[in-house]
């Protein structure tokens, strides 16, 4: 098991997304949070579980992408040594790669 650290912006995105789903339907935000936890646990158990993000720049940075099963979100993350940094809670169809600059900061920790 590798510890998974959430980038501060990813933590904010998680909170915002939980609130958005909870506003849509009571309990849906909690369901999103439960799936997010399961996803993070899967990444922690095997950091190489997800493929590298396509594209030369993302591959060079070692960014992996984990697709959530039930919700249309992808979790980009990097592995540095034994530490995993979750870069974003990114909607699959919005603002592609907006979080990529976070990978630079994560690789310097």
Show contacts of 11-18: CB within 8 Å, 24+ apart. 13/88, 13/89, 13/90, 14/89, 17/73, 17/89
Q: How confident is the model at residue 108 (pLDDT cuts 50, 70, 90)?
A: low
User: SS3 letters for 1-28?
Assistant: CCCEEECHHHHHHHHHHHHHHHHHCCCH
Element (H, E) at 43: helix 28-45
Domain that residue 11 falls in: 4-107
Flag whether pLDDT at 107 surpasses 80. Answer: no
Residue 79 contacts residue 106 (beta carbons within 8 Å):
no
- Number of domains forming the structure of the chain: 1
Full-model pTM: 0.89
Say which CATH number the domain at 19 has. Answer: 3.30.2310.20
């Amino acid at each position: 098991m590798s510890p998974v650290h959430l980038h501060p912006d990813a933590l904010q995105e998680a909170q915002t997304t939980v609130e958005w789903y909870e506003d849509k339907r009571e309990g849906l935000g909690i369901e999103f949070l439960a799936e997010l936890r399961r996803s993070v646990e899967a990444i922690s158990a095997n950091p190489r579980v997800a493929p590298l993000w396509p594209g030369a720049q993302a591959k060079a940075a070692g960014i992996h992408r984990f697709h959530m099963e039930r919700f249309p979100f992808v979790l980009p993350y990097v592995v540095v040594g034994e530490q995993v940094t979750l870069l974003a809670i990114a909607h699959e169809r919005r603002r592609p790669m907006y979080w990529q600059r976070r990978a630079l900061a994560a690789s310097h920790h």
